[in-house]
Protein backbone atom coordinates (compact mmCIF):
# COMPACT_ATOMS: atom_id res chain seq x y z
CA UNK A 1 0.00 0.00 0.00
CA UNK A 2 2.80 2.44 0.83
CA UNK A 3 4.38 2.40 -2.61
CA UNK A 4 1.05 3.08 -4.29
CA UNK A 5 0.31 5.86 -1.78
CA UNK A 6 3.70 7.45 -2.53
CA UNK A 7 2.81 7.35 -6.23
CA UNK A 8 -0.64 8.84 -5.60
CA UNK A 9 0.88 11.68 -3.59
CA UNK A 10 3.53 12.27 -6.26
CA UNK A 11 0.99 12.28 -9.12
CA UNK A 12 -1.37 14.70 -7.39
CA UNK A 13 1.36 17.16 -6.44
CA UNK A 14 2.87 16.97 -9.92
CA UNK A 15 -0.48 17.79 -11.53
CA UNK A 16 -1.50 20.53 -9.10
CA UNK A 17 1.79 22.36 -8.52
CA UNK A 18 4.10 21.47 -11.44
CA UNK A 19 7.16 21.25 -9.17
CA UNK A 20 10.75 21.50 -10.37
CA UNK A 21 11.75 19.24 -7.47
CA UNK A 22 9.55 16.65 -5.78
CA UNK A 23 10.49 14.00 -3.24
CA UNK A 24 7.91 11.88 -1.45
CA UNK A 25 9.26 9.65 1.30
CA UNK A 26 7.41 6.94 3.21
CA UNK A 27 8.52 7.47 6.82
CA UNK A 28 6.29 4.88 8.45
CA UNK A 29 9.32 3.01 9.78
CA UNK A 30 10.10 5.99 12.04
CA UNK A 31 6.82 5.63 13.88
CA UNK A 32 6.97 2.16 15.38
CA UNK A 33 4.92 2.09 18.56
CA UNK A 34 2.66 5.00 17.56
CA UNK A 35 -0.92 5.08 16.31
CA UNK A 36 -1.19 3.48 12.84
CA UNK A 37 2.28 2.03 13.38
CA UNK A 38 4.30 1.93 10.19
CA UNK A 39 1.50 3.22 7.97
CA UNK A 40 0.57 6.56 6.50
CA UNK A 41 3.54 8.70 7.60
CA UNK A 42 5.05 10.69 4.73
CA UNK A 43 7.49 13.53 4.11
CA UNK A 44 7.23 15.78 1.05
CA UNK A 45 10.00 18.04 -0.20
CA UNK A 46 8.70 20.20 -3.03
CA UNK A 47 9.99 23.20 -4.96
CA UNK A 48 7.39 24.98 -7.08
CA UNK A 49 6.93 28.40 -8.66
CA UNK A 50 3.40 28.27 -7.22
CA UNK A 51 4.96 28.99 -3.82
CA UNK A 52 6.69 32.23 -4.86
CA UNK A 53 5.68 35.07 -2.55
CA UNK A 54 3.54 32.75 -0.39
CA UNK A 55 3.80 32.34 3.36
CA UNK A 56 4.54 28.86 4.69
CA UNK A 57 0.92 28.33 5.79
CA UNK A 58 -0.36 29.11 2.27
CA UNK A 59 2.19 26.73 0.76
CA UNK A 60 1.04 23.96 3.09
CA UNK A 61 -2.59 24.69 2.22
CA UNK A 62 -1.79 24.30 -1.48
CA UNK A 63 -0.20 20.91 -0.78
CA UNK A 64 -3.15 19.78 1.37
CA UNK A 65 -5.61 20.94 -1.31
CA UNK A 66 -3.78 18.83 -3.90
CA UNK A 67 -4.00 15.82 -1.58
CA UNK A 68 -7.68 16.26 -0.71
CA UNK A 69 -9.27 12.89 -0.08
CA UNK A 70 -5.97 11.18 0.73
CA UNK A 71 -5.60 12.96 4.08
CA UNK A 72 -8.48 10.90 5.48
CA UNK A 73 -7.77 7.81 3.41
CA UNK A 74 -4.15 6.68 3.61
CA UNK A 75 -2.18 9.62 4.99
CA UNK A 76 -1.99 9.63 8.77
CA UNK A 77 0.79 12.22 9.09
CA UNK A 78 2.48 14.49 6.56
CA UNK A 79 5.54 16.68 7.00
CA UNK A 80 6.07 19.28 4.29
CA UNK A 81 9.15 21.19 3.15
CA UNK A 82 7.76 23.58 0.50
CA UNK A 83 9.96 26.17 -1.18
CA UNK A 84 9.90 28.45 -4.20
CA UNK A 85 12.70 28.18 -6.78
CA UNK A 86 15.86 29.87 -5.53
CA UNK A 87 15.06 29.44 -1.84
pTM for the model stands at 0.85
Q: How many CB atoms lie within 10 A of CB 40?
A: 22
Each residue's pLDDT tens digit, 27-86: 876 656 655 555 688 999 999 999 999 999 999 999 999 999 998 888 888 999 999 999
The two counts, helices (H) then strands (E), for the chain are 2, 3
| 67, 75 Cβ separation under 8 angstroms | yes
DSSP conformation class of 83: E
Q: Which residues pair with 42 in a beta bridge?
A: 26, 78
CA dihedral 40, 42, 48, 53 (to 10 degrees): 90
For 3-35, what is each residue's pLDDT tens digit?
Answer: 489 999 999 999 999 999 999 998 876 656 655
Amino acid sequence: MSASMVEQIRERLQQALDPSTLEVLDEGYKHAGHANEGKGHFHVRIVSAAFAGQLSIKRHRLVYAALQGLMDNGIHALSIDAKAPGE
